[in-house]
Amino acid sequence: MALTEQTRADAAELAGRYPQSRSALLPMLHLVQSAEGTVTPDGIALCADVLGLTNAEVAAVATFYTMYKRHKVGRYHVGVCTNTLCAVLGGDAIWAALSTRLGVGHDEVTADGSISLERIECQAACTHAPVMTANWEFLDDMDVPRALEVVERLQSGEAVFSTRGPRIGTFEEIERSLAGFDDGLAGEGGGGKDSRMLAGLTFAKAHSMSAPEAPAQSPLVTAAKKTEA
């Protein structure tokens, strides 16, 4: 893939979404990354051109954020959370197993280009530890055998579904979605049907616990009436 006139048009559209166009820079870097798989000098130049910035200004931003990659990641960029909670609950073991099986370390790509590995920080999913991601989609409650199975399936091109989301797309597809272009997948992965997310609600229902009764009317309705009178 490469940067095209469409990329430029999409970038201009992003710039138009903000009161000040420079605010579109982060989404725009996701966009050029979706077109080229990484943030290249050409991608930086495109952003700079659309926003009227220098290449250096754009590069200074791009290098600050870990999600912008300066060299190609795999078709599936796999993250293993090794922040404390996940690490202790099994993330370190999962990391070691994947790294050994794939023969790559942190920030490295398999020879066939299918998988890259990253030690990632807390993904705001600690209730689902140990947590893994593939192209940033959640793979919750992992263990070593399942983690190995996931990468095997990804490598062989079989479908892998996020535990709380859609079928995992390619890195380029996810990056385009992050740039702010709808991929139509918002409905995938069910409502809140996840036992961890529903843990409290389930317990409350089983034990007849509920929030206090709501008043008949909003106090603001009364306030509005007073103003009218």
Residues 36-55 binding another protein (CB under 8 A) are 51
- Give the span between the Cα atoms of 66 and 186, in whole angstroms: 25
Among residues 169, 70, 82, the alpha carbon closest in space to that of 118 is found at 82
Q: Per CB under 8 A, does 12 bind another protein?
A: no
Q: Under a CB-based contact definition with an 8 Å cutoff, are residues 171 and 76 in contact?
A: yes
Q: Per CB under 8 A, does 199 bind another protein?
A: yes
- Closer of 11 and 80 to ligand FES (Cβ): 80
Choose which of 48, 89, 109, 150 interacts with another protein (CB under 8 A): 89
- Closer of 102 and 130 to another protein (Cβ): 130
Choose which of 1, 5, 56, 64 interacts with another protein (CB under 8 A): 64
By CB under 6 A, the residues from 77 to 96 that bind ligand FES are 81, 83, 85-86
SS3 77: strand
Q: Under a CB-based contact definition with an 8 Å cutoff, are residues 22 and 51 in contact?
A: yes
Beta bridge partners of 116: 77, 109
Choose which of 43, 138, 160, 171 interacts with another protein (CB under 8 A): 138
Among residues 9, 34, 14, the alpha carbon closest in space to that of 24 is found at 14
Q: Per CB under 6 A, does 179 bind ligand FES?
A: no
Choose which of 80, 129, 139, 174 interacts with ligand FES (CB under 6 A): 129
Residue 139 token pair = 């793979």
Backbone region of residue 146 per phi and psi (left: phi > 0; alpha: psi in -120 to 50; beta: other values)? alpha
Residue 61 token pair = 């931003």
- Closer of 86 and 178 to ligand FES (Cβ): 86
Q: Which residues bind ligand FES (CB under 6 A)?
A: 81, 83, 85-86, 122-123, 125-126, 129, 131
